[in-house]
Amino acid sequence: MYSDSVLILTAKEVLSLISDREVDLMDIVKSAYEAHALGESSLPHSSFLRFPGQPQNRIIALPAYLGNRFNVAGVKWISSFPDNVSQNLDRASAVVILNNLLTGRVEAILEGSIISAKRAAASAALAAKLLCGREQIGSAGLVGCGPINFEIARFLRATFPDLQRFKVYDLDPSRAAEFKVRGQEVFGQIDVEVASDLNEVFGSATLVSMATTAGAPHIFDPALIRPASTILHVSLRDLSPEIILSSDNVVDDIDHVCRAETSVHLAERLSGNRDFIRCTIGDIIRGAAGARGDGNRPVVFSPFGLGILDLAVSKFIYDLATAQRLGKVIESFLPSAIETH
């Protein structure tokens, strides 16, 4: 007999299970990318729900199946309401739903914004590790001082032992100042310095992460980015299509990233093709492509943010919670056979 109960995991419980597990999460994301590259996934396009007269707001559904070592299916339902920040609310809120692969029945509901931030950071740090190779990273730039870049800073710190300084920038100076205070508390001996402009960020580091709420490109000068740089273009819409076309481009999934008005999508429209995308991160992991192409160009990693990553991390959390008997089980959440007939 199949269970009619559902496991509920709150934000606090999710965080307790994956705190200080940056290396584990990066390994999970790496395996998920590899499985996807090998065709061990089903990944429909994300569905964007938008609202009349509110172009800045959206809710996105990311359904997915991931096989190989994961064998998990479900969906992430995540909202982005940027004005929340002015009300001391997080911009994003989310849930992840996991389905039983034998019956299709829901078996778990997890708070998803923490999972989303952690998997985004793990993806960015993994890309940085692969793309930077043996380069010693002593300084990193962060454009956008929200929760995503804070998590990316945490993962970069776990990835690069020589990292000693973050140079941070935000359009809102108070957010940058808050980021500095919290960063110095959390990251210990690493210096967190607030930059006065983007020139200072890109001039101080060859590794830069961009995690903003920009809805359209706002960086147009290719000279701003040094040739040896690695740009983690996590927010997807900061760079002009001309900069994208002049860069060495690595993505997570070509079909997914070439939509929804991303900078890569705009570059495709401008050029009329996708030839400017050299490879996917999965190709590099499998050894089908090198870490860098033309060494005279900056490499830009543009991850659309694949639902398979959320499910891979959620499955890891679900297994831990089940083993530790953590979370709240809602009995008879699903209708029984008698109730449905």
* 179-234 tens-digit pLDDT: 999 999 999 889 999 999 999 999 999 999 999 999 999 999 999 999 989 999 99
pLDDT beyond 60 at 339 = no
Contacts of 164 (CB under 8 A, 6+ apart): 138, 139, 189, 190, 191
Q: In a 10 Å sphere around its CB, with 0-12 CB exposed, 13-18 middle and 19+ buried, how is residue 70 labelled?
A: buried
* 259-295 tens-digit pLDDT: 999 999 999 999 999 999 999 999 999 999 999 987 7
Domains annotated for the chain, with CATH where assigned, are 6-115+307-330 (3.30.1780.10), 133-302 (3.40.50.720)
* 291-328 tens-digit pLDDT: 998 778 999 999 999 999 999 999 999 999 999 999 99
Comparing CA positions, the residue from 260, 218, 255, 263 lying closest to residue 237 is 263
Strand ranges of the sheet holding 230-233, from the earlier edge strand across to the other edge: 191-194, 165-169, 139-143, 207-210, 230-233, 299-302, 248-251, 277-280
Residue 278, classed as helix, strand or coil, is strand
Residue 93, classed as helix, strand or coil, is strand
Residue 87 DSSP class: G
| Spacing of C-alpha 256 from chain mean position | 14
Cα(45)–Cα(196) distance, integer angstroms: 38
**How many C-beta atoms lie closer than 10 Å to residue 341's C-beta?**
6
Q: Supply the pLDDT for residue 337.
A: 60
Contacts of 249 (CB under 8 A, 6+ apart): 264, 276, 277, 278, 299, 300, 302
Q: Supply the pLDDT for residue 103.
A: 94
Give the 3-state secondary structure percentages of the chain, helix then strand then coil, rounded to 5.
40, 25, 35
Q: Supply the pLDDT for residue 2.
A: 59
Q: Alpha-carbon torsion 210, 213, 215, 217, what sign?
A: negative
Q: Supply the pLDDT for residue 85.
A: 87
Residue 196 DSSP class: S
pLDDT beyond 50 at 111 = yes
pLDDT beyond 50 at 1 = no
Confidence of residue 134 (pLDDT cuts 50, 70, 90): confident
Print the SS3 string covering 205-272.
CCEEEECCCCCCCCECCHHHCCCCCEEEECCCCCECHHHHHCCEEEECCHHHHCCCCCHHHHHHHHHC
Q: Supply the pLDDT for residue 340.
A: 52
Beta bridge partners of 189: none
Residue recorded with tokens 């056979």:
337
Cα(285)–Cα(279) distance, integer angstroms: 11
Could you tell me the CA-to-CA distances from 267 to 43, 213, 221, 225, 246 in Å, in that order?
Answer: 23, 19, 15, 17, 10
Work out the mean pLDDT of the chain and round it to a whole number: 95
Q: Supply the pLDDT for residue 264.
A: 98
Contacts of 223 (CB under 8 A, 6+ apart): none
Mean pLDDT on 3-31: 97
Q: Supply the pLDDT for residue 76.
A: 98
Do residues 261 and 237 lie in contact, with contact meaning Cβ atoms separated by under 8 Å? yes
**How many C-beta atoms lie closer than 10 Å to residue 162's C-beta?**
9
Confidence of residue 3 (pLDDT cuts 50, 70, 90): confident
Take residue 177 and report the two structure tokens written for it: 């100042």
Give the H/E segment covering residue 312.
Answer: helix 307-324
